[in-house]
Amino acid sequence: MDERKAGEKKLKHLFEPVKWGRFEIKNRVKYGACCVSNFNTRDGFITPRELARTKVIAETGAGIITNQGAYPDPLGEGKAYFSQVALFDDKFLPQFETIARYIHDNGGMAIQQILHAGRYGGIDLGYCIQPSVVPQTLPHFRPPREITKEQIRETIKQHADAAKRAIKAGFDGTEITSFMGYLLANFCSPFTNKRNDEYGGSVENRGRFMRELISEIKEAQGDDYMLVARLNGAELMDKWGGNSEDECLELMKMAGDAGIDMISVTVGWQEAPESSIGRDVPPGHWNRLAARAKKELPNVPIAFGVRLPDPVMANACIEKGDFDYWEVCRPLLADPQLLHKAAEDRLEETRRCIGSLNCLSRLFRDLPYTCTMNPALGHEVEPEYHITPAAVKKRIMIIGAGPAGMECAMAAKQRGHEVTVFDREDSIGGLLRGYAANDLANRDDMLSVVRHYEVMAKKLGIEVKLGVEVTPKLMRDLLHQFDVAIVAAGARNDENMRPKTADGGVLTDAYEVALGRIKPGKKVVVIGGGRIGLTLAESLTDQGHEAIIVESSKRVGNDVAPTWKWRHTSWIKELKIPVMTSTRVTRVTASSATVVNAEGEEKELAADMVIYAAPQKPNQEVFQALQWMVDEVHMIGDAMAPRGMTSAIHDGYRLGCRI
């Protein structure tokens, strides 16, 4: 009898058990160590926070689990992140043993990544080491020193010792990585390797470090254990003198010849001048690189998952023979239940990774990583973030069906509360719908968030009353029907910032245009260069309207995530959108907007529509109206302080878990 679950039958290639060497792997999914958590001690010890997080990873259902990269040297030249784990001494072993056990207890194969960050390392030292002195293009990283031959030999030995230690801790194999421009990549790439000795020059010489690394690690850990190499299929650094795709392939073949047991194909360096993993890259965009590697190296197992967030697409790729294992990390950060949902044919319940790169933005600020879509990530060790049965069941009304309100509703409902969500609009999603409709990067990513709320509201039985505005009159009618009121109604426009209107001039609300309720004019002035104004101006220009952005502060994009600011500035350049900074709109008429710059110079801009997308303020009026009518009143999301989607989701979940 076929005991497979419905989804396992549908995605039969992805969920097919496979033999790799002496190992029986339960499916073709490899959890990739794409993100270092920054949850650990400054001297490299694994913390309870990390162990709790890793337990969740072990329970994702992936056949192979790669534990996050540990630096192998006592000096920390290989250390890339402030709180990265270390593996240069046996004193670190007990926690690694626990992690290996978690993985095995869940039927997974355990791989430990050894990460010497090279060009991106030396985070505590004030310098980094790399094959040649090539300065940093990102100021976060340390000034370079050239690695000597003696240091090369020592570094290879440290990798081999760390690998041996991982095996001793119970891991089934190890992984070396050139992902994103670490030491291995620095040797392979002519961008950072300008040496004249046997480690530089030709591809053959540049690959010598990798071959020696593979040889010594394999010798140290023995034939019974596996070694994986993450190698670039494309560096995206070729414009700056890096490897071409052909050279990348040549290096992969070299690794195959050196006896590597699996190649995980990656794309891009941290500093590459184009996107590799952001949501402006269409899902599946890089699959060709894995397919090419598989074709050229038919006998080496190939893992791949760069900007490939969808298990259905991964299943199809495996069926086609593009690669052997789906290497997945960020989609499992966003939803650790993704594989279980896929196996049970419940993919519609998935919380999709929207590629906001919040995780990486945080790491670049030396902060622990978090996930926009998964508010529990990083808090697994804290009971306050768990969904547990409520001690007292309450009747809860939530005002606003945007991300904050819906997250709160979902968590509270799962805890046993009675939940009713009210929204004056006729659909779930709040203002996110307007943002999604105008996002040039990937509208479906943002819309997937809205769809998730719609699906989960139905599945969990949350009552959602749409088209109902919560007014004091309604509240008097509802008096005593609810124990708790939660204000998640979003922010309000700051009326004090609005310019004067005259001669038939009208200020149009950005969301009315974004949601398609008001037809935009031909010549549009957008007041406000924050993420709302930028997104709308970009979208309107893309549709053929003429938009000008007027921003009162010195720069635009002040509320945009650090990893996404460049995207807006690039779009502004590409779309040739005029931007006036340090400038205020003082008067709006039916055909123009008058602006004044910091020097007091006045100018009239022709415009048949002026859109107000300027700073917003908290929505305290609703809170004040309710606080003497309901036992408990709370505020969450932009209603409390306008901060955007990540904070809204996190606020909502946190309150839903605790109320």
Partner 1 sequence: MGQTVTDAGLCGALQRWREMGEASREVFAALEPGARVGLISQAEMNQAPGARMVVWQAGPEGPTTALAPFAGFADAPADMVFLVPDEALDEVAAAGPDKGLGALEGPVRSGDAMLFYIAPKGDLLDAGYEEFMERLGFGFLGACR
Q: Which residues lie near partner 1 (CB under 8 A)?
A: 126, 133-140, 142-144, 239-240, 268, 270-278, 357, 360-361, 364, 554-555, 562-563, 565-567, 569-570, 573
* 437: its two tokens: 């409709």
71 phi and psi angles, rounded to 5 deg: -80, 145
Report the amino acid identity of residue 137: T
Nearer to partner 1, 556 or 622 (CB): 556
Shortest spacing between CB 280 and partner 1, in angstroms? 8
Shortest spacing between CB 281 and partner 1, in angstroms? 8
Shortest spacing between CB 601 and partner 1, in angstroms? 15
Shortest spacing between CB 357 and partner 1, in angstroms? 7
Angle at 371 between CA 369 and CA 373, to 5 degrees: 175
Nearest to 45 by CA among 87, 78, 101: 87
Nearer to partner 1, 46 or 80 (CB): 80
Shortest spacing between CB 270 and partner 1, in angstroms? 5
Cβ neighbours around 360 below 10 Å, total: 20
Helix (H, G, I), strand (E, B) or coil at 454: helix
- DSSP codes of every residue in 312-358: HHHHHHHHHTS-SEEEESHHHHH-TTHHHHHHTT-GGG--------H
Nearer to partner 1, 106 or 137 (CB): 137
Euclidean distance between CA atoms 89 and 70, whole angstroms: 11
Strands 484-487 and 395-399, sheet pairing:
parallel
Specify whether the CB–CB gap between 617 and 344 falls below 8 A: no
Nearer to partner 1, 12 or 573 (CB): 573
List of E strands, 222-298: 226-234, 262-267
Specify whether the CB–CB gap between 261 and 173 falls below 8 A: yes
Nearer to partner 1, 191 or 623 (CB): 191
Q: HSE on the CB side for 363, CA within 13 Å?
A: 21
Shortest spacing between CB 358 and partner 1, in angstroms? 11
Specify whether the CB–CB gap between 98 and 160 falls below 8 A: no
Nearer to partner 1, 466 or 598 (CB): 598
Euclidean distance between CA atoms 156 and 159, whole angstroms: 5
Nearer to partner 1, 120 or 612 (CB): 120
Shortest spacing between CB 579 and partner 1, in angstroms? 10
455 phi and psi angles, rounded to 5 deg: -65, -45
Nearer to partner 1, 23 or 566 (CB): 566
Helix (H, G, I), strand (E, B) or coil at 494: coil
Strands 109-114 and 173-177, sheet pairing:
parallel
DSSP state of 142: P
Specify whether the CB–CB gap between 562 and 361 falls below 8 A: yes
Cβ neighbours around 224 below 10 Å, total: 11
Q: HSE on the CB side for 271, CA within 13 Å?
A: 21
Shortest spacing between CB 362 and partner 1, in angstroms? 11
Nearer to partner 1, 144 or 190 (CB): 144
Nearer to partner 1, 6 or 138 (CB): 138
Nearer to partner 1, 137 or 205 (CB): 137
* 465: its two tokens: 């009353």
Specify whether the CB–CB gap between 45 and 88 falls below 8 A: no
- Which residue bears the tokens 């979003």? 490
Nearer to partner 1, 261 or 439 (CB): 439
* 522: its two tokens: 């031909």
Burial class for 380, CB neighbours closer than 10 Å (0-12, 13-18, 19+) = buried
In angstroms and rounded to an integer, the radius of gyration of the C-alpha atoms of the chain is: 27
Report the amino acid identity of residue 93: L
Euclidean distance between CA atoms 269 and 41, whole angstroms: 26
Q: HSE on the CB side for 186, CA within 13 Å?
A: 28
Shortest spacing between CB 375 and partner 1, in angstroms? 22
Nearer to partner 1, 219 or 274 (CB): 274
Shortest spacing between CB 277 and partner 1, in angstroms? 7
Nearer to partner 1, 134 or 401 (CB): 134
Shortest spacing between CB 383 and partner 1, in angstroms? 33
